[in-house]
């Protein structure tokens, strides 16, 4: 165990102490604090928390690599994972906030006055969030495993125990404030390497302004090698797949329960609007940087690594070859490593970059702490979503409405611990690659919650039968298309499993509308409640009139 | 504080509940012209539609014509790549801030007091 190990470990432990301290300081004292952070988080900090929640281990570690490998087609992830915030902030967040619900299933249960709808929505929430959390715990296991040179499985269990402690303690309030700290850690950890690389390669410390030239240079290099250019559009998939994927990611953003729940923590509809703006700004800092990371890394690999004698490769290549994420071959037998003989896994780009660019042991430790922050922050948000779906929606609203505050808090805490352990166990042997699992979670959200909520908020005629059939049809179509595309090679217009949400959403919207129109409209009371969501808190709509509190 | 219970369980969302809470607060309530409230809603929606049109053009629109755009260069980037990596995202962020600022202005125009909204907002979650 060398100096690097101790430096990295020290930085990670320091950040852990910070998170636990914040969680203890913000111990949730009532259900309002446990589920919605007491409704008083200032929009700017809420925006930061959303940024940390959004930037998961998969994106922190994997996104730059994905863009490097996919070229232009990878940009569907950049636009898809940001553009959805407009759908969320314009169409859903302020209105759901005004409704006063604690959770998405609760909103659905009350809007459609149906216990069945509440239960289905709660189960969907748990499935989607649970799936997503498997990816996060798996990711944290990888970081800890690489750091300690122990099995990633052990790393996963360590991450699990840590999250269970501070999530159960602080609830949404503890999670939110811990996420603010985690955002600061991860943004610094992400930006420092890319700024240094920009200085090294272009002499300009602002990577966002300097990497355009590098993208063009990469195109030149590719052309010399007889490959298609790095930035050429639709090399890896059809135009329709790009559009379908982008839509699935955007609509999924607006349909993921743990993301929507982040807008319940502010005090008003106006605060929800501002929260969305701040969130995208903080998220944007990361997403502006990922393609720069990708371009610089690829440039370094193409110009400094490829073309070198295999016997003379720099020291860091050996450690990464040992992990299996980097493959070096000499199929041409000339003793020189050609670009085509170098095989790079997506994950290597962010994790190995500090070594590739010779940035020093503190930066390497910082990146490890940043990856952990990303994993923990997302996992925390997901576990609260699962806990609230069970402890609030199923236990309190359905099973035991007379439960006391204390009982509800206890059930909430126990659920978090149990859910974390279960997700950890599954994460020990994940059913697929992290990004793939995450993509499925998005597709499911696009096919189920997105149509249900948009119609629920904007179309007062949507009724419970329409909603339930819409949810089930959307779920079914999405799942069938994912399996058919992945295992049966069946595609429409070249759209693969990651773009399945498009078909689920279309089916769900159509079903919801047709069935609602074919059956009884909702009660006048409910229709009034929907109209009431149009106006800010001071105005209330009732029986055809609008009242303003003075 | 009295809370409204319907069918033995707690409810969110319904205006009856809100009215009960307004009564509890003891605040005066006045009726406003429905046409004024409708105008508020229409104004908000018009802006929203404009934002969505811009959103769609910079993302879906640019992707649809990516090939011809790839011949134009901007700050070293092929233009379609620039939009996908930076341009669209920058527009998204700007639109969200514009929405927040304009939303506040519209509220003010219709006489909404945000401090009032805030105390109402914090109250409507009365632990339920």
* Residue pair A505/A246 in contact by the 8 Å Cβ criterion: no
B10 interfacial to chain A (CB closer than 8 Å): yes
How far, CA to CA in Å, does A233 sit from each of A123, A210, B57, B70, B97? 39, 21, 17, 8, 31
Q: What is the pLDDT along chain A (550 residues), one digit of tens a residue?
A: 578 778 888 888 898 888 888 888 887 777 777 777 777 788 999 999 999 999 887 788 878 888 888 889 989 999 999 999 999 999 999 999 888 887 899 899 999 999 999 999 999 898 888 888 887 777 777 777 666 666 667 767 777 788 888 778 778 788 888 899 999 999 999 999 999 989 988 999 999 999 988 888 988 888 888 888 888 888 878 899 999 999 999 999 999 998 898 888 888 889 899 999 999 999 999 999 999 999 998 898 888 877 788 777 777 777 777 766 677 877 777 788 888 778 877 777 888 778 877 788 888 888 888 888 888 888 888 888 888 888 888 888 888 888 888 888 888 889 888 888 888 888 777 766 666 778 888 999 999 999 999 999 999 999 999 999 999 999 999 999 988 988 888 888 888 888 899 999 999 999 999 999 999 999 988 998 899 888 888 888 888 888 887 7
Chain A residues touching residue B96 (CB < 8 angstroms): 85-86, 89, 273, 276-277, 280-281
The residue behind tokens 């199923």 is A394
Q: Which residues contact A156 (CB under 8 A, 6 or more apart)?
A: A137, A138, A140, A141, A144, A145, A424, A427, A428
B96/A86 touch (CB, cutoff 8 Å), yes or no = yes
B76/A213 touch (CB, cutoff 8 Å), yes or no = yes
A204 interfacial to chain B (CB closer than 8 Å): no
User: Does residue B23 belong to any structural domain of this protein?
Assistant: no
Comparing alpha-carbon positions, the chain B residue that sits nearest to A536 is: B117
User: Does residue B16 belong to any structural domain of this protein?
Assistant: no
A100/B124 touch (CB, cutoff 8 Å), yes or no = yes
Chain A residues touching residue B77 (CB < 8 angstroms): 212, 215-216, 231
Residues 14-73 of B with CB under 8 A from A: 14-19, 22, 27-34, 36-37, 40-41, 44, 48, 51-52, 55, 59-60, 63-64, 66-67, 70, 73
What does the block give as tokens for A319? 């450690």
pTM of the predicted model as reported, rounded to 2 decimal places:
0.88
Chain B residues touching residue A542 (CB < 8 angstroms): 15-16, 19
**Which among B18, B64, B95 has CB closest to A86?**
B95
Q: For chain A, how many helices (H) and strands (E)?
A: 22, 4
* Residue pair A526/A111 in contact by the 8 Å Cβ criterion: yes
Instruction: Give, as one character, the DSSP assignment of residue A262.
Output: G
CB-count exposure of residue A295 (10 Å: 0-12, 13-18, 19+): buried
- Angle, vertex CA B83, rays to CA B81 and CA B89, nearest 5: 125
B85/A274 touch (CB, cutoff 8 Å), yes or no = no
How far, CA to CA in Å, does A2 sit from each of A46, A144, A147, A368? 39, 16, 11, 16
B95 interfacial to chain A (CB closer than 8 Å): yes
Q: Give the range of the structural domain holding residue B78, as residue numbers without chain letter.
A: 32-113
User: Does residue B26 belong to any structural domain of this protein?
Assistant: no
Please write the tens of the pLDDT for every residue from A435-477: 677 888 899 999 999 999 999 999 999 999 999 999 999 999 9
Residue whose C-alpha is closest to residue A375's, from A545, A191, A138: A138
Rounded to the nearest angstrom, the gap between the alpha carbon of residue A110 and the centroid of all alpha carbons in its chain is 27
A268 interfacial to chain B (CB closer than 8 Å): yes
* Domains contained in chain B, number: 1
Collapsed DSSP state (helix, strand, coil) of residue A343: strand
Chain B residues touching residue A269 (CB < 8 angstroms): 117, 121
Chain A residues touching residue B62 (CB < 8 angstroms): none
Comparing alpha-carbon positions, the chain A residue that sits nearest to B107 is: A536
A3-430 is classed CATH 1.20.1730.10? yes
User: Does residue B126 belong to any structural domain of this protein?
Assistant: no
Every domain of chain A and the residues it spans? 3-430
User: Does residue B25 belong to any structural domain of this protein?
Assistant: no
């Amino acid at each position: 165990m060398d100096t690097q190990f101790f430096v990295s470990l020290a930085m990670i432990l320091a950040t852990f102490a910070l998170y636990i301290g914040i969680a203890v300081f913000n111990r949730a004292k009532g259900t309002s604090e446990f589920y919605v952070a007491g409704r008083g988080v200032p929009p700017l900090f809420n925006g930061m928390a959303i940024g940390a929640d959004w930037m998961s281990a998969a994106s922190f570690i994997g996104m730059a690599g994905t863009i490097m490998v996919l070229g232009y087609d990878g940009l569907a992830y950049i636009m898809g994972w940001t553009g959805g915030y407009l759908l969320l902030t314009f169409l859903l967040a302020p209105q759901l906030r005004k409704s006063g619900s604690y959770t998405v299933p609760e909103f659905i249960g009350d809007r459609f006055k149906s216990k069945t709808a509440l239960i289905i929505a709660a189960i969907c929430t748990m499935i989607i969030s649970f799936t997503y959390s498997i990816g996060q715990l798996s990711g944290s296991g990888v970081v800890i495993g690489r750091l300690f040179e122990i099995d990633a499985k052990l790393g996963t269990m360590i991450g699990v125990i840590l999250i269970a402690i501070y999530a159960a303690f602080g609830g949404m309030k503890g999670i939110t404030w811990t996420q603010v700290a985690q955002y600061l850690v991860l943004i610094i950890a992400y930006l420092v390497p890319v700024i240094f690389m920009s200085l090294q390669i272009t002499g300009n410390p602002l990577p966002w302004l300097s990497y355009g030239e590098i993208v063009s240079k990469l195109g030149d290099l590719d052309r010399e090698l007889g490959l298609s250019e790095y930035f050429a559009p639709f090399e890896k998939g059809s135009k329709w797949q790009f559009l379908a994927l982008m839509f699935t990611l955007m609509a999924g953003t607006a349909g993921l329960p743990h993301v929507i729940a982040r807008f319940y923590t502010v005090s008003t509809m106006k605060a929800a609007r501002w929260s969305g703006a701040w969130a995208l700004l903080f998220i944007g800092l990361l997403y502006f940087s990922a393609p720069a990371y990708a371009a610089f890394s690829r440039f370094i690999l193409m110009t400094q690594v490829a073309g070198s004698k295999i016997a003379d490769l720099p020291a860091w290549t050996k450690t990464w070859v040992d992990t299996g994420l980097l493959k070096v071959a000499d199929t041409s037998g000339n003793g020189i490593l050609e670009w085509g003989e170098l095989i790079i896994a997506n994950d290597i780009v962010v994790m190995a970059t500090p070594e590739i660019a010779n940035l020093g042991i503190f930066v390497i430790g910082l990146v490890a702490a940043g990856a952990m922050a990303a994993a923990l922050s997302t996992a925390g948000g997901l576990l609260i979503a699962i806990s609230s779906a069970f402890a609030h929606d199923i236990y309190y609203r359905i099973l035991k409405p007379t439960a006391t505050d204390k009982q509800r808090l206890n059930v909430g805490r126990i659920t978090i611990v149990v859910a974390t352990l279960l997700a950890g166990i599954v994460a020990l042997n994940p059913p697929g690659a992290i990004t793939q699992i995450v993509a499925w979670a998005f597709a499911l959200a696009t096919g189920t919650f997105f149509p249900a909520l948009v119609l629920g908020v904007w179309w007062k005629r949507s009724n419970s039968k329409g909603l339930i059939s819409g949810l089930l049809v959307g779920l079914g179509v999405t799942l069938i298309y994912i399996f058919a595309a992945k295992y049966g090679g069946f595609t429409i217009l070249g759209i693969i499993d990651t773009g399945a949400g498009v078909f689920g959403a279309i089916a769900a919207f159509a079903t919801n509308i047709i069935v609602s129109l074919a059956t009884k409209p909702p009660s006048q009371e409910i229709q009034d409640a929907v109209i009431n969501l149009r106006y800010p808190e001071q105005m209330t709509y009732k029986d055809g009139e609008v009242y303003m509190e003075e | 504080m009295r809370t409204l219970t319907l069918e033995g369980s707690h409810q969110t969302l319904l205006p009856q509940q809100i009215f009960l809470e307004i009564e509890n607060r003891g605040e005066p309530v006045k009726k406003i012209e429905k046409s004024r409230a409708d105008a508020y809603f229409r104004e908000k929606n018009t802006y929203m539609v404009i934002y969505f049109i811009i959103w769609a053009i910079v993302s879906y629109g640019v992707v649809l014509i990516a090939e011809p755009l790839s011949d134009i260069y901007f700050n070293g980037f092929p233009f379609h790549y620039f939009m996908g990596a930076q341009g669209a995202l920058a527009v998204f962020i700007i639109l969200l801030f514009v929405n927040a600022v304009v939303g506040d202005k519209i509220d003010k125009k219709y006489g909404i007091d945000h401090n009032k909204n805030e105390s109402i907002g914090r109250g409507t979650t009365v632990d339920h």
